[in-house]
Structure formats: structure tokens, C-alpha cells
Chain A
């Protein structure tokens, strides 16, 4: 047992670190306390940052070489992720394209689609989004209602998608539609690549509870998609979507990184703020700080166990969902204690000198319990696929979708 890199991993890490230093002048970096960059205001710099990293061989680490990737391992991908975080390079503008859309094109796309899209995606020449959720289908994705109807060599799409991260800067998206309402809900779906600049596509920002607008609603009004942009066979859309969601699990559960604030940053905040509280409050605050640190360390070291599995050639199974659950819990505990440590300022949206780091974190974490599998859906996955508990009986899997049992 050890926490060190193998000699190969250490050499790879050193190379990544050197590349990040060599190109530091061309990359975006987060300021202290800043956890992200707004693509609305920094699109050009974010695209440039990804292009520079792609040219240095640090994007698409696990992708096959024939599609512009590095043919590397999941551990190398995790090392790149750690080193990008260490260098305070923000999340890549195309993180959804790299983590989810691209792998779906690799698995289910035609050779022409792979040639057309993948290298440009890695360089952020094109930004991608994932058009799955709808107003009436969130956790129950297969209940979606956006339709695609065959018309000559094209399909005509009508409907609405929602919670679409990065749609406002995207050039392409993978779009899950219903093509056969007469079949049961999972059997009547088909996936496409859609041009986000096509006539009939309208993107509107959605403002989140914290005030930011990172995601969007997207409307499709008679949008024509050529049949050659289909991903997989008609009616195979659910299987294609599962590829996407499997890759989402790898993207979220693979490296065991912190959700919310890194525990070191939280500890530094506590060091500054604890002494400013009244002595009798300090005792209580230390309990909250200790509880949050324990949760964060437990999530971190559990992440190291997953990383060890990857390191030995394993792939993340459904138990990776536990990493997101535990990481979210740790993030919530740190945000809550982080705000409480502010004393009287805890009831304001920022401190008197304008610092809103902990209030801001507190206000976006509720979304993490919903995105990428709600806490409750993850518990169902873990209960059924890891613990082997029986699923709930369902009456929506066999009847035609158009029959009303949705």
C-alpha cells in the first residue's frame, strides 16, 4: 500500500507538469478563491486554452490515436486532471464534448462523422453540448417527447430540451429524440448530431438560483437534420444514450476530485475565521469543521481506492456513483461550515469587503445533488446494481409510449 505514482506515472506527471509550465502564458488560470470561468464572457480565451492543451497532447488522453487522442490510460487522464487542477487551469470549455459526446461519436458514429468532428472537438474548434433532458423528462430520460420525423433524406425535429450546459456557445450537440411513439418508451428513441447553428434552433439562457446562467433551454422548430447525422440505428437511441451516460460516470467518478471546495482551502478559511468567533461559538464551529474535514478526507481516500482500480486496468463500475454521493455530502458540509464561520456575514450574500466565495458555493451545490444523476437515482443504482436489492415494479416499460403510460 502506498500513495505514490508508479515510475511510469511519475514520469508522465513530470511531463504534464513541464508542459503546463511551458505553456502557462497561453492558458487561462483561476484566481485564488475563483472556482470557474464564465463561458459567456470568456469564450475565446477558453477555446484558446483548450486548443493549446490539445496541441500539447493533454486533451483526449484516453481517446484512440486515430481520432486525435493520445491512446492513454484512465490513470493518465486522472493525472492530467490533477495537474490541471494544481495549475489552477479552469475546466475545459469542451468538457462535455470530451467526456460524453465525443466517446458517443467514437462508439456509434459513422467513419465520416468521426473524421468530420472528433479532431475539431478536441481542439475546441467546435464546442459540443448534450441535449437529453426535457421539461417533462429529467431522471426519467426515456420519457422524452422531442420528436424527429423522417422526411426524404432528412429528419425534422420539434420539441424542447432543458438544463443544457454550454448550449449558448455550442456548435454541435448530441440530440436524443423520439422517432416511434408507437413503441415502448425505451424502444422508440433515436440519437442525432445536430448543428446548433441550423435554422429553427433557439437557445435561451436559464438563470440558476444562485444568479448565474451556466445552462440553457433549447427549442427545436422544424429543424432539419440529414440522415447521415444519425448516431446508431433508428430506435437504438437508448443504447446510444447509455454509452454517453457510462462515459459521464467515468468523467465524474474517475478521479475522485473534490466537489465544491478543496479541503485544504476550507481548512485555511477555518484557520482565518475561527479565532474571530466568540469563544463559546468556536467550540461548536470546530465540531462542524471537523465533521466536514472527515467527510472530505473519506471521500478523497475512497477516490484513491477507485484510482487504484483504474491503475490496475479496471473500469469504474456502478459503485463509482457512491463517490458522487459522498463527495456531494462532503461539499455540502464544507459549504455549510464555511458560511457559518463568517459569523454575522453568514446571513448576507457576501462579506462586507465583497467576498462571496462561501455563499456562492452554498448556492450552487444544490444543483450538484441533481445533475448527473440525482442523489435518489444514484441510490437506486447502488441499491439495485451493487447491493442486489430488487427494483421497483414498473408499468412504463412495455406499453406504447403514445398509449399514455409514460
Chain B
């Protein structure tokens, strides 16, 4: 039993934390709602190598496991970085046999987005708003093409959501349904990892405020009403961390478990991040409800992420269907 990050992965996490803290922030996420530039941006993520973590070395990537990408994504999520590493994770799976495009993904020379739903009228898709080349599933085939982008008014600008109508398309792989599903599961794991980072940061900010703010003659963190809310959010974060690590490990080392683990992690992430962000606002009282405060960018991310790549209901249903058909195996 060795269910923990190894020394390399801890180093990767430390490096990613330093990078993201220096190059992104909830303040930037808030500014993005009023047209500000999203941080750190695609080029910076390409330059530091994050977009190619799971792209094969032969295509200019690092050829590392999804767990490494998840560890990095957690740090990005903690400061609401944009764009998401979800697209990097998904596209790396989809482009495994298309090295020239995979190289453009890794070096950031092409801005990819992966479309959910129909390619002639896609569902709101992550980081599609400023993308130039789109991957989609069209009648069971994996296609790539350019498209017309229709963004909505953003609830969370850092997600770069937009609907897309492909204006050109080229088949990259016929009968790619299974590949597509696996890529979406990898994306769900990475989004759960970003949510893990966001949720943990919410708990840290809430705890810090509860340690200093005083009311009725004492610090509010001493009141059980406040303390227990924060503890429940923290326990949720620790549970989510276990599912994210397990799901990322499964993607790398035991793919048969990935459907169950990815859905469990994504369902847990939706509820956990939402609770942590709501708790952050409530612990702060009125100041937590203001535009200038960092609470609402986290809350916005939570409210949006819970619906992307399958909402909680979809993933709970998937977990139930898998569990009753024996996906739990004989237990570990």
C-alpha cells in the first residue's frame, strides 16, 4: 500500500504552486468578468510545459502520467488559473495518434478546444471562446476543424465557455467513440483536480478569516456553528483528494477502473467545491458577498464546473450503473 504522491510528484506540485501563484489569481479571474486578460494564459502554460505533460515525448510533450497533470491542475485550480488543463488532458488522449497536432497542442502554437455535444451546434465547451481549432465527435468519428464561436455572457470567465459550429471538418479517426469516452474521463479527472485545488483554497481562506475576525467578544472560529461548517468543508476536500488521486492512478495504471473512479471523482468534486465556496462566503458574512472579495470567483467556478463534463446527477447515475454491474470487483 503506497497511496501517496512520491517525491517527484511533490516537487512537481511545489513547482506548479510557485508558478501559478506568481501568474494567476482570483483577482485576475474577477477582472476577466469585465473583459480583463485571463491569467496565466495559453502561451505561459505552453512555455512552462504544462499543456504537454501527457503528450508523448515524440510529439514534443513530457510523456508523463495523468497523475502528474492532475497534481499540477490542482495548483492551477487553487488560484483559478485559465485556461484549464482539462483541454490539454482531453486533447492529448484524442491526438495520441496524430503527432503533428499533438505537438501544436504541447507547444501552444494552436489553441485547441474539445467540443461537447453536436459539432454543428455544440454545448458550451471549455476554453472554446478563444480557440482556433476544434476537436469533436461527429457520427462516431473524431474530427478536427475550424468553427464559428458563440460565447455566452460568462458566469465564470476563466472557463472560456462558448458554443461552436464547425465550418470545416476533417476525420482524424473513424469509429472513435471509445477513445472519445476515455478522453472525456481524463478531462473529468483533471477538472476534479482543479476543483480540489479551488475547494481547498476556499477552506484555507475561510479558516484564516475565522481565526482573526471577532464577534460577540471572541474570534468567530471558536463558535461551533462556524467551526463545524469549515470542518465539514475540509473533510469533503480530503475525501475528494483521495478520489482524484485514485482516478488519476486508474487512468495511468488500471484503465478498467477509470470509468467508475472518474465519475466518482467528478460527482464528488461538484458537491465538494460548491459546499466549500458557499462556506467561504458564509463565514465572511457581508464582506464575502462583495464584488471586491475573492470569494465569488471561487463560487462562480464551483457553480459552473459542477455542470461541465457531466453534472453530478449524470455521474452518480454512472457510478450506480457501474457498481451494480460489478465494477467494484471483489474489493481492494
Contacts of A274 in B (CB 8 A): 324
Bound together, the chains give a CA A54 to CA B207 distance in angstroms of: 47
- B320 pairs with A289, CB closer than 8 A: yes
Chain A residues whose C-beta falls within 8 Å of the C-beta of B211 in the assembled complex:
388-390
A295 to B238, CA, bound (A): 12
Cβ-neighbour of A267 out of B246, B267, B328 (below 8 A): B328
Q: Which of A97-105, A131-139, A210-218, A304-312 contacts B (4 or more CB under 8 A)?
A: A304-312
Stretch of A113-121, A185-193, A376-384 with 4 or more beta carbons under 8 angstroms from chain B: A376-384
Looking at the assembled complex, report how far the CB atom of A280 sits from the nearest CB atom of chain B, in whole angstroms.
Answer: 14
Inter-chain residue pair count (beta carbon < 8 A): 169
Complex alpha-carbon distance, A298 and B316, angstroms = 13
Indicate which residue in A271, A302, A392 contacts B238 across the interface (CB closer than 8 Å): A302
A392 touches B222 (CB 8 A): yes
B-side contacts of A348, CB under 8 Å? none
B267 touches A393 (CB 8 A): no
Closest residue of chain B to A283, judged by CB? B317
Contact A3 B1 (CB under 8 A): yes
Whether A290 contacts B239 in the complex (CB less than 8 A), given A1-B6, A393-B222, comes out as: no
- A289-B320, A293-B323 given; A382·B3 CB < 8 A: no
Instruction: Kindly provide the distance from the CB of B256 to the nearest chain A CB, expressed in whole angstroms.
Output: 14
A262 within 8 Å of B by Cβ?
Answer: yes
A299 touches B331 (CB 8 A): no
Which of B264, B320, B326 is in CB contact (< 8 Å) with A298? B264
> Looking at B3, B222, B268, which has the most chain A CB atoms within 10 Å of its CB?
B3
* A30, CB-defined interface residue at 8 Å: no
B222 near A3 (CB under 8 angstroms)? no
Q: Within the assembled complex, what's the spacing in Å between the Cα atoms of A249 and B326?
A: 33
- In the assembled complex, the CB of B313 is this many whole angstroms from the nearest CB of chain A, namely 6
CB distance from B64 to the nearest CB of A (A): 13
**B227 neighbours in A (Cβ, 8 Å):** 379-380, 383-384, 387, 389
Q: For residue A384, which residue of chain B has the nearest CB?
A: B227
* A374 → B minimal CB distance (Å): 12
Q: Count chain B residues whose beta carbon lies closer than 8 angstroms to a beta carbon of A.
A: 56
B interface, over-half SS: helix
Binary contact readout B304-332 vs A (1 if CB under 8 angstroms, 0 otherwise): 00000000010111111101111010111
Q: Are B316 and A286 in contact (CB under 8 A)?
A: yes
CA distance A1 to B323 in the complex (A): 24
Chain A, residue nearest B323 (CB):
A267
**A359 to B261 alpha-carbon distance, docked (Å):** 29
Whole-angstrom CA separation of A289 from B241 in the bound complex? 21
Contact A270 B249 (CB under 8 A): no
Q: Which residues of chain A have C-beta atoms less than 8 A from B330's C-beta?
A: 264
A318 to B243, CA, bound (A): 21
Within 8 A of B (CB), among A1-60: 1-6, 9
How far is B293's CA from A134's CA once the two chains are assembled, in angstroms?
A: 48
Given A290-B316, A376-B224, 17 additional A-B pairs, CB 8 A: A3-B1, A3-B332, A6-B2, A9-B1, A263-B331, A267-B324, A290-B315, A293-B323, A294-B267, A298-B239, A298-B264, A301-B242, A305-B241, A307-B3, A387-B231, A387-B234, A389-B227
Interface residues of A (CB under 8 A from B): 1-6, 9, 75, 262-264, 267, 270-271, 274, 283, 286-287, 289-291, 293-295, 297-302, 304-305, 307-309, 311, 319, 322, 325-326, 376, 379-380, 382-384, 386-393
A–B Cβ pairs within 8 angstroms, 15 of them? A2-B2, A3-B2, A270-B324, A286-B320, A289-B319, A290-B319, A297-B260, A297-B261, A319-B238, A376-B224, A387-B203, A387-B231, A389-B222, A390-B222, A392-B222
